[in-house]
Amino acid sequence: MKNQTVNEGKTIAIIAYLWVIGLVIAFAMNNDKKNTFAAFHIRQMIGFNILSLANTFVISNYVGLWTSSLISLSLLTLWIIGLIGAAQGKEKRIPLFGDLFQNWFKGI
């Protein structure tokens, strides 16, 4: 990927990692001037937020709080990996799920 593309999309990519509000802002910012680097990280965070919501509402209610807490720690680790990748200007996929997120949300 070109340095110019990464530099232009880095701010939007980092904003996408600021949970749901940041994701909505990043999505709106990227709609005006499409940036492939920013879109990559927006897709990663859409999938991450879905996992996080599933953990909050499904796992914690039906499986248990201990399991949900362990998954939350794992999700925090995945979030940090993605945020560091965005800050470094790399298209670093979230382990285990990154490829799926890129395929599922490729229209974005």
> Which of 85, 71, 78 shows the shortest CA–CA distance to 100?
78
Q: Model-level pTM? A: 0.89
List pLDDT tens digits, range 41-51: 999 999 999 99
Is the C-alpha dihedral spanning 89, 23, 80, 75 positive or negative?
negative
Give the pLDDT band of residue 76 (cuts 50, 70, 90). Answer: very high
Over residues 68-89, the mean pLDDT reads 94
Label residue 17 by pLDDT band (50, 70, 90): very high
